[in-house]
């Protein structure tokens, strides 16, 4: 069946189709991952430590291609937002990273956090999520055995703090 769509209309329809496909793919990955042992353990620890609010997960389109996910409090509820249009390659590490933030925000009110406090939670998230494992670093084209973990954690935490609206323009390494 031939379509009477112009090339531009076709591109728009196809783009919307791809966006819907990415959304479903992200939702499916998240649904599967929250059933995995490590993430179940984090969620259990979260609730066991007195954090009684359920952590919600949301897949959405993000404008910034450098952000794969973020944590926020949405109407009093902790929410992990996954950027479905950006890389879902390391989504397990991403979800784990954001759950560390959820725990930190519950344990210590970080709603008005300083850049130094944000740096601390980013360091914990980078350490505990597995994002600085040797295999993840090799995928990023980074290699080093001596001091690798320390350098990775510092680099990843610095990048994360630098993207925070309250810390932009501040050298995150000073935080």
Say if residues 81 and 23 touch (Cβ distance below 8 Å): no
**Which is the catalytic residue, given 8, 58, 98, 131?**
98
Say if residues 115 and 166 touch (Cβ distance below 8 Å): yes
> Looking up tokens 């954001």, which residue turns up?
98
**Rounded distance between C-alpha atoms, residue 108 and residue 106, angstroms:** 6
**117 included as an active-site residue:** no
For the annotated catalytic residues, the residue numbers are 98
């Amino acid at each position: 069946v031939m379509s009477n769509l112009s090339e531009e209309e076709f591109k728009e329809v196809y783009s919307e189709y791809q966006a819907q496909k990415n959304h479903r793919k992200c939702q499916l990955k998240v649904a599967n991952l929250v059933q995995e042992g490590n993430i179940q353990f984090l969620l259990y620890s979260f609730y066991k430590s007195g954090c009684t609010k359920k952590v919600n997960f949301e897949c959405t389109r993000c404008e910034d291609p450098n952000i794969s996910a973020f944590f926020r409090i949405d109407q009093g509820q902790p929410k992990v937002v996954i950027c479905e249009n950006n890389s879902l390659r390391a989504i397990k590490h991403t979800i784990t990273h954001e759950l560390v933030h959820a725990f930190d925000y519950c344990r210590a009110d970080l709603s008005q956090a300083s850049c130094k406090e944000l740096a601390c939670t980013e360091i914990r998230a980078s350490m505990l999520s597995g994002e600085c494992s040797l295999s993840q670093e090799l995928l990023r084209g980074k290699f080093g055995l001596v001091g690798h973990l320390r350098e990775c954690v510092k680099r990843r935490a610095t990048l994360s703090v630098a993207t925070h609206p309250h810390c932009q323009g501040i050298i995150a390494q000073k935080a």
